[in-house]
Structure 1
Amino acid sequence: MTPIQLLIKEIRNLTPVPAITTRIINMADNPSCDMADIAKLIQYDPAMTAHMLRTCNSAFFGLSNPVESVKDAVAILGIDKIVELVLLNAGTKPLARPQKGYGMRKGALWKHSVASALIAKNLATKQCPDLRHTIFTAALLKDIGKVVLDKFILESMQKIESLIKQNGLSFIEAEKKLSVQTMLKLEE
């Protein structure tokens, strides 16, 4: 298999975003969205239901009575928090793994992605509120390529480090140069 074929295989191995995530985001982007409809959708997904109830019943909310229904959880969380929870839940597994090639411990890429998404959403809320969910999603997933490339970077780390030392390049510059060299070899 060529390096390109291996990359494509790794991309296809990424876990797709669950259908419920897409449906909830589409509903949330609709101005006439009904919270009861979102609750009805969530109640048929056991994992999502458990996640919403666990979040509402966490110490963060400090509620005096536990939340026992999805309908109540949706009302407490609101549409923005629901979208965030759904997206964060969808991206957790691939981004939470250690990225050995990039020298990132377990959860480091995930924390970086969540922080980026929250900052981007905060900015979007002020600048273009209609796009806040899209911008949150884009920022959350902006580094997903690292999940795919990690294995290849690990295999090429000595070459990258050599380019950094010999040519005074940054990691990104060395990575790009190595990628170009690899592509040129494939064309031969």
Structure 2
Amino acid sequence: MKRSLLPTSVFAAGSRCRSGLIILFLCCLPLLLTGCLGTQSLPWGSEEDLKIALSDIELQEIKALETIFLLKLRVANPNDTATEIRSIKCELKINGELFASGISDERQGLPPFGTISVPVVVYTSKFAIVGSVIEILQKDVQQYGSKPEEPLNYELTGQLNLGQDGKEVFPYEVAGKIVLNR
């Protein structure tokens, strides 16, 4: 008598096969869902905002009616994905008054977990500088006599345009103090 290698019940073999496929499907489900999400972030993970800081101010040129400064902004990416900075706009206020504004179209790649320095040329009128300096000196003399000690408060506001086309807008606002070496 020949013995068959097939199970005695075709239905029992089919149910074991189906349960194995179901277990395989359930194990692969998270991978399938991750693949379907594409570039969107997962609901349990969130990306942090870019960090922006004023790292330097340089006087570039003094003209008849305006003064040109170069601001250097430090942009830090605390995320594990790279992005591209397409352009940056900024306004600098000193002691609450608009001091200078400008825009830069210098493209730079921002690596994951990296930082870059972005130069932005800003312009201010002679009248804004003269008025600010006189106001600061008068305030210092009134409060401290001839020895000025109070730092300048600044606010830097604007927006970064990110991505290849620059359509992703990231607004920012940074505040701090500038201590002048007098």
Scaled to the shorter chain, the TM-score interval is: under 0.3
Name whichever structure is richer in helix by fraction. Answer: 1
Name whichever structure is richer in strand by fraction. Answer: 2
TM-score scaled by length of structure 2: 0.23
TM-score scaled by length of structure 1: 0.23
